Amino acid sequence: MDIQYVYTKKRSEFGRQVHFTDRSVEIIADIQPNPELIKEYISRNPVEVAVQNAREFSEHWVNTVRFETENRGINHVEGGWPKDVNPLEPDQTSRFRKKTEKEDGYGRAILSLGQSIEHTIRQNNAIDIYENYFEHLEPDVVEEAPYAKTINIYRDPHNIRRTANHISWYADGPRKLAVSYCNLEFQSATSDSFIDSYIWDIENPTKPELYLKPISPLVCIEFNPKDTHQLAGGCYNGQVCIFDTRKGSTAVEQSLIENSHRDPAYKTVWLQSKSGTEFFSASTDGKVLWWDTRKLSEPVETLILDIEKKGRLENALGAMSLEYEPTLPTKFMVGTEQGRIISCNRKGKNDAEKIGSVFPGHWGPVYALQRHPNFTKNFLSVGDWTVRIWSEELRDDCIMWTKPSMHALTDAQWSPTRSSIFYTSKMDGTLDVWDILFKQNEPTLSIQVVDEPLHCLRVQETQGRLIACGSQNGTVTLVEVSDNLCVQGKSEKALVTGMFDRETRRAKILEARVRAKRDARAKSAQGEKGEKATGEVAPGETELREADPIEKAEKDFWKIIEEEKRKRDRKVVADDEKPAAETGAVIEEEGAATTTA
């Protein structure tokens, strides 16, 4: 049975002010304790209670469909005409305009409208509603800590595990990824292994958009920046091939095996040209080859990487990485298997003129090489366990370097939107974000992307927000970084410029000091031969001592330390001898007393 009670109220009392009055305390209910319940109570000993100071939150990510914008034009047509007048007919509009101008009220209406329009125009000229009044002020510092999150994971659909060696972004926005898959371990490739590579749509991680079927496993793949349907690939057997997404999965052009590399083609880079059909490739066979897609049967030009400039292939250094900046169309750099970095100029008439300066590089192969997007004189390289930043003005040493990592580094790239940030991938599956303005000894942010080695990374160039990382088992992970890692501050570029200039000057000073020390040692060695008999100090040695204040300061420091040690030792010896002397005196006194007695 439903119990209902209806509250009634007069209509005149709706909205009336409520008046509260004081009254005495009234006991509504009084429940006495039951003494029998105490027998059922059991005390708990010990009692553990956990108290959390902060609230507990659960974090959850959902992959939503990305919003795509589209630019559309609007056609504004002339309006305000009567229904019987077609605005597209000039005769009708001119006839109606003349008729209206002859009316008596036309002049008065124009004068009245003119005053209001004049006032509005003057107001618009006086106040700019689009002016940014705080443009000169520095932007507020973003207080939130930098972070990154995983957007998608693209797994190799084939059962055989292969390494994702190289990644290339689609040239017209972050929509597609081209990934080359190849197993480069020694004697690990078999004849029946799966050799396909893929083009992924970043919104669909379940299935590749297009299968690329080369004649040999692809070591590298690159989208053509001028024709986004074309891709250039370097194969494991040394050949290069061209794919066209409009013409299917197979290669439309490929080089002849006898005119190709003798080792895997590790890198292919498109050149800046009017036709957009030229690219060049590098391999560990010691050659750099230039190609034209219109005639891919043989290379257009060949360069042998012999740093002795004799053009001998047996002395050539194997190429592992390439660097090419479109703003410097004739210059390029090669990172070698032996750790050297070679700066080349294509304008040279022969191999000796094409090979320019050689940088010492790393102790192992140079896996990555890239010029700074904003400062073309500076570039970074990756090898062994460090990242080194170089300047073209110095050939003997780098200007900056990172602390050696516990795990080997495999790839690195500058951020295209922030001048002070670059990214590195490591063999423990970690993606590190370095901000050289913030700190140089350790990364600003470390992200554990996968539990297997990362072999490559590629940052999307237009926004700098998306990073694709390829792992040893063929997994490609798409990572999105926070705003403070991809939005550049106003003074950041100037600060990075000042840092590079300062470090370059420091390196030049140290290089000059080392050169002076080397010359002084050579002079002192020559002077010692002639002045050993007289016992005089060689003038070169005197100059070395005077010209090296650091060494003099170190000697003075250690001299002070040694003096302090001697003082402490003398004090300890004195303290040890004092009680012995007192004891001997007491014994002598007792002996004298005994004799007297």
In tens digits, the chain (597 residues) has pLDDT values of: 466 667 777 877 777 777 888 888 888 888 888 888 888 888 877 878 777 777 777 777 777 777 778 877 766 666 677 888 887 788 888 888 888 888 888 888 888 888 888 888 888 787 777 777 766 665 554 467 888 888 888 988 888 888 888 999 888 878 889 999 888 876 555 555 678 888 988 888 888 888 888 888 889 999 988 888 889 999 988 889 999 888 888 888 888 888 888 888 889 998 888 888 889 899 988 888 988 888 888 888 888 888 888 878 888 888 888 888 888 888 888 998 888 888 888 887 887 888 888 888 888 889 889 889 888 888 999 988 899 998 888 887 888 888 888 888 989 999 988 888 999 999 888 999 988 888 888 888 898 988 888 988 999 888 888 999 999 888 899 998 888 888 888 888 888 888 888 888 888 888 888 888 888 888 877 776 665 555 554 444 444 444 467 777 788 888 888 888 888 888 777 776 655 545 444 434 444 433 333
Asked whether the beta carbons of 90 and 78 are under 8 A apart, the reply is no
**How far is the C-alpha of 485 from the C-alpha of 434, rounded, in Å?**
10
- Please report the pLDDT score of residue 226 as a whole number: 85
Q: Is 587 left (phi over 0), alpha (psi -120 to 50) or beta?
A: alpha
Domain count across the chain: 1
- Please report the pLDDT score of residue 469 as a whole number: 92
DSSP three-state, residue 124: helix
- Please report the pLDDT score of residue 542 as a whole number: 47
- Please report the pLDDT score of residue 596 as a whole number: 37
Q: Is residue 466 part of a domain?
A: yes
**How far is the C-alpha of 33 from the C-alpha of 91, rounded, in Å?**
103
Q: Is residue 449 part of a domain?
A: yes
Structure token pair of residue 170: 């689609």
Percent helix, strand, coil in the chain (nearest 5)? 25, 25, 50
Q: What is the CATH number of the domain that holds 231?
A: 2.130.10.10
DSSP three-state, residue 510: helix
Q: Is residue 53 part of a domain?
A: no
Q: How far is CA 548 from CA 107, 536, 545, 555, in A?
A: 93, 20, 5, 11
Q: Is residue 343 part of a domain?
A: yes
Structure token pair of residue 431: 């993606």
Q: Is residue 311 part of a domain?
A: yes
Structure token pair of residue 355: 């090979």
Asked whether the beta carbons of 283 and 321 are under 8 A apart, the reply is no
Distance separating the N- and C-terminal Cα atoms of the chain: 125
Strand ranges (E), 325-408: 331-336, 341-345, 355-359, 366-371, 378-383, 386-391, 400-401
Q: Is residue 26 part of a domain?
A: no
The size of the chain, in residues, is 597
Query: Which residue range(s) make up the domain with 164?
Result: 148-485
Is the Cα torsion angle 486, 488, 492, 496 positive or negative in sign? positive
Q: Is residue 64 part of a domain?
A: no
Q: Is residue 312 part of a domain?
A: yes
Q: Which pTM value belongs to this model?
A: 0.63
Closest CA to 253 of 221, 281, 231, 268: 231
